[in-house]
């Protein structure tokens, strides 16, 4: 359980860095903040509840009525991790957020950044090679066929993390140096 949580954390950091890299050498701003929020949403909404229920069942014996080996339940809980779910979640969040948060970029831009970040998350996930169950429901709810490219191992996040961090520092070196020198 702890290993899975640590691996998930590393995975989230890798996803966060992927959003920062998409912004190139631009200084962090509100656009990046929305994009990073979108990048962490799919696992936060689809994976974290599963890990939480799994932990409650095994450590405290709570919620044992919830059958975590039921494929239909797992598929339904994974909806926020599908493209259709991401678009829906991003739109709903942008619509219910207080106007004071969305005024500056605009609600539809917030929806676009959250949705774009979530789709970037899925793009990185799809590149990975998983053990069972392999692949992601890209066309759910119209199809339950799973897809993945399998270019690198799913636990490669740990290895990729320092490389991506170095790449981000190199890309952003000019403004980082200015900040350091005051
Ligand atoms: Zn994911």
User: How far apart are the CA of 123 and the centre of ligand 1, in A?
Assistant: 9
Place of tokens 């954390």: 9
Q: Summarize pLDDT for 57-113 with one digit per residue, the tens.
A: 989 988 888 888 888 888 889 999 999 999 999 999 999 999 999 998 999 999 999
Residue 160, pLDDT score: 85
Print the domain residue range for 73.
Answer: 2-180
Tokens of 142: 């119209």
Residue 6, pLDDT score: 60
* CA-only gyration radius of the chain, Å: 18
Domain count within the chain:
1
Place of tokens 């429901």: 137
User: How far apart are the CA of 78 and the centre of ligand 1, in A?
Assistant: 10
User: How far apart are the CA of 143 and the centre of ligand 1, in A?
Assistant: 19
* Cis bond before residue 18 (omega within 30° of 0): no
User: How far apart are the CA of 71 and the centre of ligand 1, in A?
Assistant: 18
Q: What is the pTM of this model?
A: 0.89
Q: Summarize pLDDT for 118-154 with one digit per residue, the tens.
A: 999 999 999 988 876 689 999 999 999 999 999 988 7
User: How far apart are the CA of 104 and the centre of ligand 1, in A?
Assistant: 29
Q: How far apart are the first and last CA of the chain?
A: 44
User: How far apart are the CA of 150 and the centre of ligand 1, in A?
Assistant: 14
């Amino acid at each position: 359980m702890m290993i899975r949580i640590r691996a998930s954390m590393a995975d989230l950091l890798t996803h966060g860095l992927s959003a920062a890299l998409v912004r190139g050498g631009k200084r962090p701003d509100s656009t990046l903040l929305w994009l990073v929020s979108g990048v962490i949403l799919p696992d936060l909404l689809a994976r974290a509840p599963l890990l939480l229920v799994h932990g409650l069942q095994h450590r405290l014996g709570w919620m044992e009525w919830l059958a975590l080996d039921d494929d239909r339940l797992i598929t339904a809980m994974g909806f926020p991790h599908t493209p259709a779910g991401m678009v829906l979640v991003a739109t709903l969040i942008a619509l219910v957020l207080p106007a004071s948060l969305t005024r500056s970029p605009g609600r539809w831009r917030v929806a676009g950044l959250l949705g774009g970040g979530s789709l970037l998350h899925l793009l990185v996930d799809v590149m990975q090679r998983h053990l069972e169950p392999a692949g992601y429901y890209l066309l759910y709810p119209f199809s339950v066929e799973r897809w993945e490219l399998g270019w690198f191992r799913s636990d490669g996040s740990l290895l990729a993390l320092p490389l991506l961090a170095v790449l981000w520092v190199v890309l952003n070196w000019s403004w980082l140096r200015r900040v350091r020198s005051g």
